[in-house]
Each structure stands twice: as C-alpha cells, then as structure tokens.
Chains A and B, each alone.
Chain A
C-alpha cells in the first residue's frame, strides 16, 4: 500500500539523533570549523552513546548498511538502510563535518560490514575504519588505481599513494583499494585492511578545505607496507565478471547515506532561513498563486519542494535496499538530486539572508561551504548521471563513457 510516511518506530530513534545534533553538535560546530585539524574530543563520549544506540538496533551506524538478501517473507520492511539514512539526515542537520568524524562510523566500516568474513568482522569489531580509494591520478575513475598489492611470504605488500582519505589520521584501520595486476583492469582491484601504526603506512599531509573542516582528510603513503594475508576483503582470485561489481555494490548502499547528509544540511539551512525571515515578517502559509506571492516566499516553497523530492528519492533507494530490490539506479538518482539541490539550497539561503547569511554570526555560510562536498564524494554529480543514464539506456560503460 502506497505510504510515504516514516513509521513511528524509526521516527523515535530519529528524534534522539536530532537531539544529539542539536545538543552536542550545534554548540561546537563553529569551533571545529575554525580550528580545522583539532580533534573534537567531545565526540569520544558520543562514541559510547552511539554504540549503545546502535547495539540497541537503532541503525545509527554505517556498519548496518547492507543489501537485504531476498528472504522468504514477502512482507515489506523498513529496516536498517532506512534507519541509517533517516538518522544520518538528522545528525547532519546538526553538523555534517562532525558526523563524518564520529569515531567508529567510517566509510571503511561500511565496506567491512558488506564484504568481510565472520572471522574478519570479529577481528575488526569496534574499530574505526577509514576508506582509501582516491589517488592523485585516479579520482572518479576509481578503476584506475595504481596502488599495488603483491603477495609475498603470506603477506600482502602494498605500495602507492592515497589522497582524500576521510578520517585517515583518526581511524584505527584504513581500507585500501589496490590492484593485484594493473593489466587486468577493474577486476583486479581488491580492498585491504591496514591497521594504524603498521610500518610502511604513513600520514603525510592533512588537507585544508572549503568545508567539512572538522573532518580530517589525509594523504597516506604506503611504502612496502606489509599486512597479513587474511586482511584482504573478499576473494583473492581475479574474477573478471564479479569482482568490481562487488566493490561497487558498497556504493549502492552508501550513496543514499550521502544523499541523507546533503538533505540534512540543506534542511538546516532552510529551517534557519525561515526562522530569520519570519523574524522580519515573512509568513509561510502555502497559499496564493506562485506568481503573486512575494518572490522570497515563492523561493522558499520552491526549495522546500526540491528538498522534499531529494528526501523521498533517498528513502525510496534505502527502502529498496531494505527489501532486497536492486537499487543501483535509484541510489544514484537520490544522490544526484540530493547533491545538487542540497548545494543549491544552502547557497541560495545565504543569498536570501543577505549579510546575515554571509556572516559567521550564523552557520548559513558554513553549511553553504560544507554542502558542496556531497555533490562530489562517493561519486560526483556527473558520475551519478552516468550511472542513471547507463541503467536507463541499457548501456555498457564502453559505449557510454
């Protein structure tokens, strides 16, 4: 039965997330935006709070993301994927940069949850895992990674340079994408878990950024870095049919989460804009011809409609994952829509609030800087369009490049 309302069960947890966002994130939001590489110690306490909530089945963690296997039950479910996007949206309403650096909630955790063996899951349990994919010469073209992994004496030897590693300095583990054989293309790309302090792995640089400054973004050099053989995620063999698709499937689950971040930040900006404008006499009543009401009011409605669309596309993609429906196209649709409208809304909110928007007195200018990243990481706008177009037009990547 068609119903696009969020069930009470999920709303209750989201309310808690909202409280954390408001009570813990907002007060320190400006501080860690200003002191870019300072570690937000306040979050250590949050780690245990979140762990508790997550173990309680709240679906607050990235490790809960996975495609539900088609079970016997035909009953429609609102499961972990929906819970995660909903909670992430609320948390990012508070502060997206802090959300990205919540201990134990790294992108690497999502990868481990998706493909690790039970033994690995146990070994890496409770650890904070970052994800290292991008290289100086391999951005959106993640199949072009040049970092190599060679088996030697029952150990993998990793060599290469990784950039833009979120939580690269703070995490306990780094999941590194490397190729077993560059001539074999994308099928030879595997992911490896490298523990912090492993000799040969070094953080050489922390980026200064436009936004999401509370979250550290590291450059990591792997120089003859040796790790145990069973730190590879997934199989060792190069299967030209399956391997890369498996790696990419993580994205089907994480893209709606990035959409959620974008929606959360844009919602924050729109909420504050409405508040500031209402203090100056604007009323929001969803009435009147859109050509006869004040332009600023019409603009609010337009943004609200766009945001609502992004939010619903995000839920649709997560709902499909929860119910075992392939959602690659829908995940990309959600991220494409959320990425672009989220950025557009936060920028417009600065403009609508004029000097109040541009000033550091409020957070509008920060959100407008933060939100740009959501249209870039986990696949840029253009990569999402490519994914959607290939699915719609039934194209292979060699035809639609």
Chain B
C-alpha cells in the first residue's frame, strides 16, 4: 500500500477537524467534543481500510456490486448479531442528539416557513453526504455500508421525517452514483459534496399517477445524436426546490427504466414546489421535463457497471423503511410518556389494559418492522440477495407504520388531533411510507 493513500485521508480528516472545531454551530449545539471523536474515528477507520476503498474505486474492470460489497464488508464472524459497530454506535449517538436538539424543535416551523440555510450548514458539518463520497475523490467514504446508511435514516427521522429526507437527499444522490455511476461520472459530480457548503442534490423517481409503479415510468428518454431527450413529469422529488443535481429516472426505449444525471440549469427543466399532507418541508417538488437534452455521459450504468433497476429500487425501499422506523419510534416514545402522565378517572391512563395493550402492540409491530428492515440492509451489505427481504420489509412497514401513527393519535385522543402535540404531524408523515419510492438510497 502506497503511503500516499495513507496520507490523503489523514490530511483530509485533519482539514475537516480544523473546520469543525471552528464552527459556530458545533459549539452552539454542544456537539464539539463528539464531533472531534467522530473525526478521530473516521480518520482511524479510513487509514485502516483505505486499501479496500482504493481497490474498489480504482478498479479497472467492470464492477460486480455483490462481489465488491462482499469484499469490502467481510462479515467479521458467521454469527447472528444485533450490535452496532463502534463507529455506527458513535454516529448513532451524535445523530440522535442532533435529531432531538436541532430537528425536533424545528419541525413545526418548517411546515410553513423555509428551512433556514443555517440548518443545511449544520447538516453539512455532520458529513452525511461526505461519508458517501469515495476517498479517491476526497470524500470520507470508506466502505459502502447500506447498514450505516439505514441507521442514519432511522436516527434522523426520529427528529423529523421531512428534515431527515431533506438532509439525506444529497447522500441518496451520492449513493446512486457510487452504485451505478462510472468513474468519470463520479469524478465529475461528486467533488461538490466534499466542500464546505451544503450541496443540494436528489433523485427524481415518482410520477403523478394514481397507479404509478416503479417499473413503468411515463417519463420517456429518447436517444438522439448528441445524447438523450427527456420528456415527462416527476413528483415528490425531495429537496427539488434547491437541488442543483438530480438523477431523473425515465423509460429508455429498448432498455427499460434508467437513470439520467440532470443539472438544474438544463433548458426545459422546470421545478415547482409541491404541498402535500405532511412532507412539504422536505422541499418536495414537481419536476417537469420538456425536451430536456442531456449528453450521452448522463446515462447511469452504461460503462463500468450494469444498471439494475431492481437493485436501485430495493436500496431506496430500505431507505424508506428506515425512515419509518425513526418516526414510529418517536411516536412510541411520546405515547409511553403521555400515557403515564395523563390522568383520567384518578389514575394514569396507562393503568388501563385497553391503552397499555395498544402500546404493547405498537412496540411489537415496530420491532417487527425493524427486524425485517435490518435484515434486508444487512443482506445488501454482505452481498447476499436482498430483493425478497426488501419486498417483505416494505410490505410490513407500509402497513404497520400507519397503524402506529393512527394509534398514536388515538391514545392522545383530542390532544392527538391538535397541533399542540407532534403526534398529528407524525400521523401525516407516516401516511407517506406506503407511497414513497426513491426518496433515499442506502
């Protein structure tokens, strides 16, 4: 291993350390010390596994996803295990703190007002998108870990699902590119995510159809002499209001569904903010593509990797399941506290089986959702097939997440229905779990 590889991540980490320690936000939110730890850990890890990463991203021949994941994430032991790695635990602690102290208090305000730019700077300091960018292009990406990505989504959604979606949208773009992009595409489009400024990007997958399905896009890509011409309408595009870059999915004749990198300024792209039941704050947008010309190089999965639409969809479904876990956990924790404090007929309502059993079932079903989601992600990470597991996880989450949401409101009664408490907001957000596609790719 050349010493060069050792020095690069190290100097990058030192650079990041400097930036973080001088940051106002970090100090204000008492995140300074943990942030330092995080950087230390990241550095240690990058030194340790720099080797793997180099071999992956510099690979000259076609990449085989599963083989790479297998190689990069060798299971430490052939053993059923539910403990997080030390790194994952540290990130979890940090993100949960951010979720509780920063995101949760903002969640009402951002429903009507724009997310303050300050929030995105804070998100950038957490290094979410950075963590997905390979080191070879100055990112902090060590190994590609669907499990770590899943955990991040779970933890951030504990704070607020809309803000979590907005925060993670760039990482979703980055992960899509590291998954299916060529080295040239990665080298061209990923560097902005390593900068000091938050760089907004996202993927645009859904379409405004009642019977929309991920296998049948109405958005069409036609091959031209210079590249491709895109026409169609995408909706529920997270962070669409801001995104500079997006991967737009369209039906390419004779090829089926494919992804195209679209820059915001391309002519024929119009973006309009959408309002919806509970996720407006995520910058959900409608993107209209009218004769948008993109170069040949915009097509994903053509050069070094084969594009697999199933894989793309599955990785994004794990992301949505993960988001639902965080928000459901928020509901459960809130309801436990409320039911213990709320007095009716002279005692806490939680003393009644009718209430207590509902809460027990919420916990049991949430844990069911979690186990299915974790299994899908861990299989993806180990390079095992994960389509069936993802399909089942999504099925479970789509149904049970809404059940948790509606039971949460029910337990609070009238108080659940008013905006004084967050439960009605979570109810509105959880309705999206069975609908969303392509929001965050793990």
Contacts and interface: CB of A to CB of B under 8 A. Distances in A.
Interface residues of B, number: 54
Interface string B361-402: 101100111011011011101101001110111011011000
Contacts of A388: 360, 363-364
Contacts of A289: 211, 213
B83 interface: yes
Interface in A290-316: 290, 292, 301-302, 304-306, 308-310, 312-313, 315-316
Residue among B368, B378, B389, B396 with the highest chain A CB neighbour number at 10 A: B368
Contacts of A337: 364, 368
Interface in A278-294: 286-290, 292
Given A308-B372, A386-B353, A392-B336, A3 B378 contact: yes
Interface stretch (A6-14, A167-175, A344-352): A6-14
Contact of A336 (B147, B360, B395, B399): B360
Given A309-B371, A388-B360, A400-B350, A1 B80 contact: no
Contacts of B391: 286-287, 301
A2 interface: yes
Contacts, number: 154
A45 interface: no
B392 A305 contact: yes
Interface stretch (B36-44, B70-78, B104-112, B181-189): B70-78
Interface in A1-46: 1-9
A345 to B, nearest CB: 14
A204 interface: no
A7 to B, nearest CB: 4
A320 to B, nearest CB: 8
B270 interface: no
B139 to A, nearest CB: 23
A393 B371 contact: no
A140 to B, nearest CB: 13
B386 to A, nearest CB: 11
Contact of A395 (B351, B369, B381): B351
B75 A389 contact: no
B396 A82 contact: no
Interface string A358-391: 0000000000000000000000001001101110
A400 B359 CA distance: 13
B25 to A, nearest CB: 30
A290 B435 CA distance: 11
Interface in A315-345: 315-316, 319, 330, 333, 336-337
A4 B375 contact: yes
A4 B363 CA distance: 20
B356 A395 contact: yes
Interface string B64-103: 0000000000011111111111001000000000000000
Contacts of A197: none
Chain B contact surface mostly: helix
A245 interface: no
Contacts of B84: 1-2
A400 B371 contact: no
Most buried by B among A2, A4, A302, A400: A2
B360 A385 contact: yes
Interface residues of A, number: 49
B359 A392 contact: yes
Contacts of A76: 77, 79, 81, 83
A316 B396 contact: no
Contacts of B147: 2
Interface string A65-92: 0000000000011100010000000000
Nearest to A75: B77
B235 interface: no
A393 B75 contact: no
B29 interface: no
A399 interface: yes
B372 A389 contact: no
Contacts of B88: 2
Contacts of B371: 4, 309, 312-313, 316
B361 A385 contact: yes
B339 interface: yes
A5 B357 contact: no
B340 interface: yes
A78 B360 contact: no
Contacts of B75: 1, 3
Contacts of A309: 368-369, 371-372, 396
Given A5-B375, A288-B213, 15 more contacts: A2-B83, A2-B381, A7-B80, A76-B79, A286-B388, A292-B211, A301-B391, A301-B395, A305-B393, A306-B396, A309-B372, A309-B396, A337-B368, A389-B360, A400-B356
27 contacts: A1-B76, A3-B378, A3-B382, A4-B371, A5-B80, A77-B79, A82-B80, A290-B395, A290-B398, A292-B211, A292-B213, A301-B392, A301-B395, A304-B392, A306-B368, A306-B396, A308-B375, A308-B392, A312-B372, A319-B81, A330-B367, A336-B364, A337-B364, A386-B360, A389-B357, A393-B336, A393-B356
Interface of B: 75-85, 88, 147, 211, 213, 215, 336, 339-340, 347-348, 350-351, 353, 356-357, 359-361, 363-364, 367-369, 371-372, 374-375, 377-379, 381-382, 384, 387-389, 391-393, 395-396, 398-399
